[in-house]
Each structure stands twice: as C-alpha cells, then as structure tokens.
Amino acid sequence: MMIWECPKQKQEDTGTWMTTLKNDTFLRALLKQPVEYTPVWLMRQAGRYLSEYNATRARAGDFLSLCKNPGFATEVTLQPLARFPLDAAILFSDILTIPDAMGLGLYFAQGEGPMFERPLRHEKEIHALTVPDPNAELRYVMDAVSEIRKALDNRVPLIGFSGSPFTLACYMVEGRGGTEFREIKTMLYERPELLHHILKINAQAVTAYLNAQIESGAQAVMIFDTWGGSLSQAAYLEFSLAYMQQIVSGLKREHDGVRIPCIVFTKGGGLWLESIAEIGCDAVGLDWTIDIGNARQRVGNKVALQGNLDPSVLFASPEIITAEVGKILESYGKGTGHVFNLGHGISQFTPPEHAAALVEAVHTLSRKYHE
C-alpha cells in the first residue's frame, strides 16, 4: 500500500525544511523573512461575536465542554477561517486549562467570567501544587491540536498557546478575574517566596504544555501575559518576565526540522519592550497603547512585532477601520517582521462584517510595504 507523504520544500533563506503550507506568510513574517503582504489573525478570533460559535457552544452545553471536546474545539477553531481569509488559526482552548488540570476546579459562572472552586490561599496548598502531565490531564488539548491540524490540511499554520506563569497565578490566587489583584499583590510583597514557588511550578507546567502542543502539531506558540502590565517595573521583571524567559529557553524551537516561532505578549508591557525583546522570543505582541513604528525603532532587528489595532476600532464603520489599519501599516513602514493583529481580544459585540473589513484592508493596503 502506498503511504502518501507530505511533500517538503527547501526554504532557501533559512536552510530549514518546511512542510508545504499553502500559506506560510504568518510564519515567514515572525521569522522576518520576506512576505508579499502583512499576515493577519485576531486574538479570540473564534468567539461570541460569531453566531456559528454561539450555536456550537449551545450544542456543547457550555464553554468548558467546548474546550474539552476535541471535535467541538476543531469546529470552532475553523469557523473564523471559513468567514475571513485569515493567515493563521489559533487552537480553541483557554489559558486556564493548566490550573484546572492542577485540581483547582475551574468553572464559569453566568456573566462572571472564570472562577476557581479552590483558589490558592494557604501555604500547604501551594506546596502541594504539582506539574500536570500534558499528555494525561491535558490530553484533550493535545487531541484537539492534532485534530485541528488534520482539518486545516496545511491551509494556514496553527498557533498553540498558554498563559504566562504570572497571569495564571493571578487567577489561581485570586480565584477569579476582575479583582484588583489584592490577594496576589499582598503575597508578592509579604511572602514573595510563596509566589516564586507557584511561578516556578507554573513555568515548568507551561513549558511542558507548550512542548506537548508543538509535538502534537502546533506550528507557532504564543504566551499570553494578560496581567503582567499591572506590576511595577521591578516586580514585572522579577515575577513575570523572568519566568517567561525560563519558558522560552525550555521550548522546542524546531519540530520535524521546521522552526517553531514563539510570540510573547504582555498587555500593558509597552514600557518594557526592550527587556521583553531580549528573552529569546521571535516576536513581541503589542497592545494598542503604543505606536508600532516607535516600538520597531526600540527593538531594532531583534524581534518581529504583532499587533496592534485597538479592538474598539471595530465598532466604527468599515471606512474608518480601513483608515485605522492604514495608519498602523504606515507607522510600521516597509519590510517584513509585522504580523497584524488587534491589541487585545476581539469584543463579543463586534459585527463580523467589520472583522472582514479589517482583514481585507490589511491584505490590500500592506502590499506596497513589501515591494
């Protein structure tokens, strides 16, 4: 019996071998290789602003059942790609799968966002924390990655992701989102060694989790540090960035002979760009508070940049969206190394036609910057 083998093609500029992706623009931009246009994807591109997402979620029962069923996760991952010519897919899951697998009891209360039944408040619980086996407790995520890769059929690359150790710790200690970080910041200043212990375990868990996603087929990975920006500069470097650096150093950077780029995104991290660009990642994600041209000057040739349209621009008309996209492309300027994205997740109140206008504007307006 003939076994069909995925054809491979030589990438002249890097000397690496790449599985034939029909569209590898996103991976090329992350590695600062030449592209014909600026690639684009949207944080939270599969989500409640799409009616088909809400329909699948209703069939699954709730959000967590959607995440934990690889068939449903595959279906919703592909939904935005069926609507818009996006240049990457992102695994449908959540950053809180890790603390859930650690036994903290994740649940979503109606209208409340994520909550934990057993937040970490006592020394004893903190010392009892263990690193989950990504191929056991988090098997459903790895199964989703492989199933999504099959369904994508090499159309565009698949991004795997995780939360940063500090952002995960925020939810693990606070027990919920939407707090003013009173519990975790008290721990940070009063019992720093306890927080360091949590962060050390989280960093090991994230490294193992991302490497398992890479082995299951993720072609790039992203670390979401949603709450690092709530820290002082000194605390950010010590309690967030240092642990992301550990992760980046422990990641598999190549799989099947193909380079796996890594993106680090600290929301509110604009002040610390130079330091973030030093940790060994390929790209830095930017929120919308910083000018991308200025960010490019600051990081020089070190990393690619991903971002950074204010998600609220998508509430305005397609004409205004097109103009705002144009400003970001112009500010970044000529050349590769830019992946277009929002500065944070797309709002559930975004009209899908406005997301379509964004993607089209990026694809058409960006060509002249790559001639």
Footprint of ligand CP3 (CB under 6 A):
43-48, 57, 63, 90, 92, 94-96, 113-114, 161, 177, 224, 226, 345
Q: How far apart are CA 69 and CA 59, in angstroms?
A: 11
Nearest residue (CB) to ligand CP3, 80 versus 132:
80
Closest approach, Cβ 64 to ligand CP3, in A, equals 9
Q: Which is nearer to ligand CP3, 97 or 336 (CB)?
A: 97
Q: Give the shortest CB-121-to-ligand CP3 separation in angstroms.
A: 20
Tokens of 269: 């991290």
Buried b (16+ CB within 10 A) or exposed e, 234-243: ebbebbbbbb
| Residue 94 appears among annotated catalytic residues | yes
Q: Of 37 and 92, which has the nearer Cβ to ligand CP3?
A: 92
Beta pairing class for 113-116 and 106-109: antiparallel
Of 28, 37, 53, 57, the active-site residue reads 57
Nearer to ligand CP3, 103 or 177 (CB): 177
Instruction: CB nearer to ligand CP3: give 93 or 336.
Output: 93
Helix (DSSP H) and strand (DSSP E) numbers for the chain: 16, 13
Instruction: Please confirm whether the linkage preceding 69 is cis (ω < 30° from 0).
Output: no
What are the C-alpha distances in Å from 210 to residues 22, 49, 221, 223, 365?
24, 27, 7, 9, 34
Instruction: Examine the residue annotation and report whether 57 is marked as an active-site residue of this protein.
Output: yes
To ligand CP3, the closest distance from the beta carbon of 98 in angstroms equals 11
191 catalytic? Reply is: no
To ligand CP3, the closest distance from the beta carbon of 124 in angstroms equals: 26
Q: Which amino acid is at 144?
A: A
310, 43 contact by CB (below 8 A)? no
User: Do the Cβ atoms of 145 and 216 come closer than 8 Å?
Assistant: yes
Closest Cα partner for 116 from 132, 96, 141, 131? 96
Residue in 28, 44, 259, 296 annotated catalytic: 44
Please tell me the distance from the alpha carbon of residue 247 to that of residue 166, in angstroms, as a whole number. 12
Active-site entry in 37, 53, 171, 236? 171
- Are the CB atoms for 325 and 361 separated by under 8 Å? yes
Among residues 68 and 302, whose Cβ is nearest to ligand CP3? 68
Q: What are φ and ψ of residue 42, in 5° steps?
A: -125, 130
Q: Which of 28, 49, 87, 94 is an active site residue?
A: 94
Cβ at position 227, least distance to ligand CP3 in Å: 8
Residue 166 Cβ vs ligand CP3, minimum distance, rounded to whole Å: 12
- For residue 240, CA distances in Å to 63, 199, 237, 293 come to 28, 8, 6, 25
The residue sitting closest to ligand CP3, measured at its beta carbon, is 226
296 is an active site residue: no
Active site residues: 44, 48, 57, 94, 171
